[in-house]
Amino acid sequence: MKSTHLTGKLRPALRRLNAGAALAVLAAATVTTGAASADTVHRSDRGRLVSVERTTTLTAKEDVAAALAAAGFDASTARFGVDAYRLVYRTVDPGGRPTTASGLLVLPRGGEHELRTVSFTHGTASYRSDAPSAMVRAGFVSSPAITYASAGFAAVAPDYIGLGTGPGLHPWMDVPSETTASLDMLRAARAFVPRTGRALGHDVLVTGFSQGASAAMGLARALQAGDDRWFRLAAVAPVSGAYDFRHAELPALLDGSLDPKSSVLYSAYLLVAWNRLHRLYDSPDEVFRTPYDSTVEALFDGSHTGPQLFAGTPDTLDALLTPHGFEMLRHPTGRLARALRVADSTCDWAPRVPVRLYVADADEQAANANTDHCGAALRSHGVDAAVVDLGVPDFAGSRHLGSNVAGTAAVVRWFDQLR
């Protein structure tokens, strides 16, 4: 769910980085009241290709290595050049209504005819052009997919609803729609890949970073449950997730344990996006102080860049939230409590495949207690998931962002061992 380190040396770095690479935060959401269930949409339409566009070709592994190194990612596992495509496909929104979404598919220029698939679900993005499929070169959100493809996998990276070229607004941290968008992106990839002379096998290795970590767990659970007749879950490796918003992430946001600006952005995001999904408040002045009560919702429309969001929000929660806003987040009730139970259930199952949870020391945006709670939830179902300590990785002054870089390097090697 996370963005970048939002204080100190990162502020000038934002001017040099792509907004999605340095921010990876905030967007808006979609009203879902009164909508139909996703099950009412005919399954034959979900995952159907609408369009395909080749966005990038890196002919040789040396080209991939140079591109990944320039983006700050480990290039040592590159074995092949890659072709990248933007897929637009049919799926459903959070209320089950038909819509379209986009995503990035990256294929190796070599290797096996039948490819094993890696699904990578990205961290929080606000600006729709910061989605993986919008990147025409290796960047923070696209480099993981390029890394997996250059190692010989078919890499599938959904943009989620309302990002990339998908219509509407993005329902942030809505695990059900993240799951359907991810599953339908796999179906779209399977439909397209034979046109390249290749095929996708049954196995899917599932990973994701930050917001994408809980999305990865949602997709993994759906695959294990047999929600698709072709694909089957092979392994799960989420990185730096906010798996327990109510009992781990929100307390850390509110008590000052995490980066203050990050806490402002994520608290604002949660209230605005989930209000549109779940109607948490009637008027923004109930939860946001002046002048943000008249400006903060408008920032979350998918058209504002990371620096615009920084400039448009205060540096502390005290300047953002009213007493009622604080109370809602400290003691969730009603619709917010029910929504949190859904978001916080992603580790409440028993994977029958290898599982590893990746985490950085003292992550300044995703409280480490999230991973502790996820591991405990898995153990309650008889699954002792290995926790992999990534140490103190750094990207633009952020351990959280650094964990995406370090986690990608670690996960691709583990997935290679599972071939």
Task: Output the tens digit of pLDDT for each of the chain's 419 residues.
Answer: 443 333 333 333 333 333 333 333 333 222 233 334 444 456 679 999 999 999 999 999 999 999 999 999 999 999 999 999 999 999 999 999 999 999 999 999 999 999 999 999 999 988 999 999 998 889 999 999 999 999 999 999 999 999 999 999 999 999 999 999 999 999 999 999 999 999 999 999 999 999 999 999 999 999 999 999 999 999 999 999 999 999 999 999 999 999 999 999 999 999 999 999 999 999 999 999 999 999 999 999 999 998 999 999 999 999 999 999 999 999 999 999 999 999 999 999 999 999 999 999 999 999 999 999 999 999 999 999 999 999 999 999 999 999 999 999 999 999 999 98
Tell me the whole-structure pTM to 2 decimals: 0.90
Q: How many CB atoms lie within 10 A of CB 196?
A: 15
3-state secondary structure of 106: strand
- Sheet of strand 386-389: strand arrangement: 49-58, 82-92, 98-108, 154-158, 114-121, 199-209, 232-239, 356-359, 386-389
Q: What is the pLDDT of residue 419?
A: 82
Instruction: Name all domains of the chain by residue range, CATH numbers in brackets.
Output: 10-244+342-417 (3.40.50.1820)
Please name the residues in contact with 274: beta carbons below 8 A apart, sequence gap of 6 or more.
Answer: 29, 172, 173, 280, 336, 339
Is 225 exposed, middle or buried (CB count within 10 Å of its CB: 0-12, 13-18, 19+)?
Answer: exposed
Q: What is the pLDDT of residue 28?
A: 28
Q: What is the pLDDT of residue 12?
A: 35
What's the chain's length in residues? 419
> Which candidate, 203, 224, 253, places its Cα nearest to that of 350?
224
CA pseudo-torsion sign 260, 264, 265, 270: positive
> Which candidate, 182, 194, 175, places its Cα nearest to that of 223?
182
C-alpha angle 6-12-17 in degrees, rounded to nearest 5? 85
